[in-house]
Chain A
Amino acid sequence: MIEIKNINKSFENRPILKDVTTLFEKGKTNLIIGQSGSGKTVLLKSIVRLIEVDSGEILFDGRDIRLMSFRDLQQLRQEMGMVFQGGALFDSLSVAENVRFPMDMFTTMSAAEKARHVDFCLDRVNIKGAHKLFPSEISGGMRKRVAIARAIALNPRYLFCDEPNSGLDPVTSILIDNLIHEITEEFNITTLVNTHDMNSVMEIGDNILFISGGEKGWEGNNTQILFTRNKKLNEFVFASPFSKRIRDLKQREDDE
């Protein structure tokens, strides 16, 4: 469980996050949604302390990440996995070496155990026969999946995904969404996903935080989001004429 309380962050006197408070639950896929530039990446990076916030509390099961020393922070981060927007795989390492990297760094597993676990993680994200390829030789979707495999290599308690679907086709997007959702439930992880993909919201949104202009705009789940009267959220969710029409029909049906 991750709890954030009254987070504020400004860049050069321009407020980006304004007094954001919320709770991300364990074993659930927690989505942070909002338009581009609304501050969701800043929020995600602030939570993992890649960006230092100006004020507020960020509690990982009660442990405030802001008060930690560099060594304690390193310890806590070993419990985290993160999938970056571009995958952020190490160019100089092969797919298998990328997934093995956290094990090399932080475990005392034997070479055979590591190889078995690499196979397990890559199998889990449906990647077969690409162990020896380099990140430049695989597709964008595969890169994201390898990044997920690497993020789950050490059985993290907290998983962070920054726009895992950006730049992917709808089929691959759904595949990745489901994968993140399944892994979250299977390993009982506290998962935070930054997205603006409405398919993801409908598919896997156990707990949704809507950020608008750096503020918490709305909070709920994927059923409640369809019936909200929140104007800004509605503009965001039903941005396309097609989805607007569906909503109007649905509401007319409900009113009758």
Chain B
Amino acid sequence: MKVFEEIGGYFQLMERVFSKPERPRIYWHQLVLEIEKLGLRSIGIVAVISVFMGGIITLQLTYNMSNPLMPTYIIGLGNRDTLILEFSCTVLSLMLAGKVGSNIASEIGSMRVTEQIDSLELMGVNSASFLILPKTIAVLFISPILFVFSVFCGIIGGLIAGPVSGVVTIADYMGGIKTSFVPFFVTFSIIKTMVFGFLIATVPAYMGYYVQGGALEVGRASTRSVVSTSILILFFDLILTQLLFK
């Protein structure tokens, strides 16, 4: 029963989040701040993780598929498609659920326990919309950009790790990157990334918005939001893969 209550509460909150803003100009200002805070400040970690993962995938592909009959361009191709189909959208979203999700849950949760949300309500501001809408739009806007950036970094990672360890030449690797490219894979992954982005912003926001108590509960909500968002991301990954690839 508790699950249904939570789902109902979530949709009720979303109804308030997506109602008409009081002062669009102020929301615009908030949006710019959130893009900077949630998006631009994630670029560093996305770059580091993607470069390493690109390198690791390249090496794994090489060592696990070493067969004289297998053309070496398959390494670049495999790395590219792994990055596009799963790593740069799903794995990266799981990581962002930890970084961005916990940030959103603890920020909104702290505002709740220090009565800042009550204070907004008392001024006549739709606090749900004011706090959550800019964060949601910011994450939706930045997610596809981070996805493309991550794929790019992952390919660079493979380009470094492959030739340096001597398992593939630059020419073979780059040849593989350009072989049998399926544009639909990118569309599919951008759709997934945006769905995950919506979850990353709104699920932790919901958990934080309804926190009751003090610091302990804020911490708990933050942890709970990361766990729930991660599970939901995997669940939607399964559903979207089935729906879009059928």
- Asked if A106 contacts B116 (CB within 8 A), the reply is no
> In the complex, what residue of chain B is closest to A153 when comparing beta carbons?
B123
A104 interface hit (Cβ, 8 Å)? yes
B152 to chain A, nearest CB (A): 33
- Asked if B124 contacts A86 (CB within 8 A), the reply is no
B22 interface hit (Cβ, 8 Å)? yes
Q: Which of B122-164 contact A (CB under 8 A)?
A: 122-126
- 0 or 1 for each of A76-102: is its CB under 8 Å from B? (1 = yes): 111011101110111100000000011
Task: Say what secondary structure dominates the interface of chain A.
Answer: mixed
- Asked if A84 contacts B123 (CB within 8 A), the reply is no
CA A10 – CA B114 in complex, angstroms?
24
A171 interface hit (Cβ, 8 Å)? no
> Given the known A-B contacts A74-B126, A105-B23, A105-B26, are A84 and B119 also in contact in the complex, defined by CB atoms under 8 Å?
yes
A36 to chain B, nearest CB (A): 17
- 0 or 1 for each of A47-64: is its CB under 8 Å from B? (1 = yes): 010100000000000000
Please pick, from A50, A77, A91, A104, the residue contacting B124 in the complex, using a CB distance under 8 A.
A77
Residues of A in contact, count (CB < 8 Å): 25
> In the complex, what residue of chain A is closest to B116 when comparing beta carbons?
A88
Residues in chain B near residue A104, CB distance under 8 A:
23, 26
Interface size classification for chain B: 10 to 19
> Given the known A-B contacts A104-B23, A105-B22, are A91 and B116 also in contact in the complex, defined by CB atoms under 8 Å?
yes
Residues in chain B near residue A77, CB distance under 8 A:
121-124
> In the complex, what residue of chain A is closest to B125 when comparing beta carbons?
A105
CA A1 – CA B114 in complex, angstroms?
29
CA A78 – CA B118 in complex, angstroms?
13
A199 interface hit (Cβ, 8 Å)? no
Residues in chain B near residue A160, CB distance under 8 A:
122
A75 interface hit (Cβ, 8 Å)? yes
B117 to chain A, nearest CB (A): 9
CA A160 – CA B110 in complex, angstroms?
22
A72 to chain B, nearest CB (A): 10
B90 to chain A, nearest CB (A): 32
> In the complex, what residue of chain B is closest to A85 when comparing beta carbons?
B115
CA A80 – CA B118 in complex, angstroms?
13
> Given the known A-B contacts A84-B118, A86-B114, A88-B115, are A78 and B123 also in contact in the complex, defined by CB atoms under 8 Å?
yes
Please pick, from B22, B111, B122, the residue contacting A48 in the complex, using a CB distance under 8 A.
B122
Residues in chain B near residue A70, CB distance under 8 A:
16
Residues in chain B near residue A50, CB distance under 8 A:
118, 121-122
Residues in chain B near residue A101, CB distance under 8 A:
123
CA A49 – CA B123 in complex, angstroms?
12
> Given the known A-B contacts A104-B26, A105-B22, are A88 and B123 also in contact in the complex, defined by CB atoms under 8 Å?
no
B135 to chain A, nearest CB (A): 13
B109 to chain A, nearest CB (A): 13
Residues in chain A near residue B119, CB distance under 8 A:
82, 84, 88, 90
- Asked if B116 contacts A105 (CB within 8 A), the reply is no
8 chain-A/chain-B pairs, Cβ below 8 angstroms = A78-B124, A82-B118, A82-B119, A85-B115, A86-B114, A104-B23, A105-B26, A106-B123
9 A-B pairs with the lowest CB-CB distances in the bound complex, closest first? A77-B124, A78-B124, A88-B119, A88-B115, A74-B124, A84-B115, A82-B122, A88-B116, A102-B123
- Residues of chain B at the chain A interface (Cβ within 8 Å): 16, 22-23, 26, 110-111, 114-116, 118-119, 121-126
- Residues of chain A at the chain B interface (Cβ within 8 Å): 45, 48, 50, 70, 74-78, 80-82, 84-86, 88-91, 101-102, 104-106, 160
Not counting A80-B123, A101-B123, a sample of 12 additional A-B residue pairs whose C-beta atoms are within 8 angstroms of each other reads A50-B118, A50-B121, A74-B126, A77-B121, A77-B122, A77-B123, A84-B119, A85-B115, A88-B116, A91-B111, A104-B23, A106-B23
